[in-house]
Amino acid sequence: MNFAKKKLILLSSIIISFIIILILTFLFAEYLSRKNAPQKISQIIDKVHLIDHYGQPFKSTTLKNKPSLLFFGFTNCPEICPTTLADLSEITKEVTSTVDEINIIFVTLDPKRDDKKHLKDYIQYFDGNIIGVTGDKIEIKKFAENWGVFYETVKTSKNNYTLNHTATVFMIDELGNFKGTISWGENETSIIQKINNLRKLN
């Protein structure tokens, strides 16, 4: 066997090995993604005991078989929460025929201050397609953990505090399946495209 043939065989072996490694890496990443993906919302929502801003149980039936945009925050949030809720309200109004075609679910991470009355008053400042959710802090923690939401209390004074928290919006289709995220600060064109794709599953 001459040198040229040996070189060709070696090069082919390297390329094939690289392709196999690439495929295995992709399959492993896909496995981890599926393993770590949130449970279907219907599987988690009925295991926790939360209420909406009317004081009614927050259950699968609350979603009315509609796509949902799920966001965790708190009403004393100075910027991220009100901006996110306002943007989602405006964008969903733009891309749908009615404001309640998509659920916007706002789960408080601060139930100590955000009771049902306070939540109800707060969401009135937006376009009416928001479901406020509150409840016992342990139940909220269980629900938030399903989505990998991080949050912590930060003291601002002796008698006051704020929260650091995940600012991601979770997209859920009408069947309750997790379908991706919207990032804080993501541009409007991208958000509209994602919401339109979510609605196409309708």
Q: What is the distance in angstroms between the CA of the first residue and the CA of the last residue of the chain?
A: 62
| Ranges of the chain with pLDDT below 50 | 25-36
For 173-194, the pLDDT digits (tens) are: 998 889 999 998 888 999 999 9
Provide the pLDDT for residue 152: 92
Distance CA 142, CA 50 (A): 11
Q: How many CA atoms lie within 13 A of 113 on its CB side?
A: 14
Those residues with Cβ within 8 angstroms of residue 112's Cβ, 6 or more apart along the chain or in another chain: 137
Distance CA 158, CA 136 (A): 24
Provide the pLDDT for residue 94: 84
Parse the chain into domains and list their residue ranges.
1-36, 41-200
Provide the pLDDT for residue 164: 92
- Strand bridging mode 130-135 / 103-108: parallel
Under 8 Å between Cβ of 104 and 89: yes
Neighbour-count burial for 34-48, b at 16+ CB within 10 Å, e otherwise: eeeebebbbebbeeb
CATH of 41-200, one of 3.40.640.10, 3.40.30.10, 3.40.720.10, 3.40.1010.10: 3.40.30.10
pTM, entire model: 0.79
Provide the pLDDT for residue 98: 64
Total number of residues shown for the chain = 202
